[in-house]
Structure 1
């Protein structure tokens, strides 16, 4: 596992947390919720890409 992957996920988390706080304090709770959901989707896409690479590596290893 790359350390860069952890930093990417942490950066998305920090950015979403800051935006969530700013939007919530300005009274835009619906946009804060959408920002949180978008951050979750971005992290899930990053993780799915890494899992896909893992499965490709396993398939190449066993010759399927």
Structure 2
């Protein structure tokens, strides 16, 4: 059981680092809003986080 928890924590941290590397601090803000919205069962917060991620993904690369 502790191995599964450790593995999931490593995967989450790795995914957050990838998002920050790819999309910067606003990517982390978007993920944070999504996760807070899911845990608090707040559709508005989740939608705002998804919108932030969508805008970051849709912007043209410079």
Q: Which has the larger radius of gyration?
A: 1
TM-score, reference length from structure 1 = 0.45
TM-score, reference length from structure 2 = 0.46
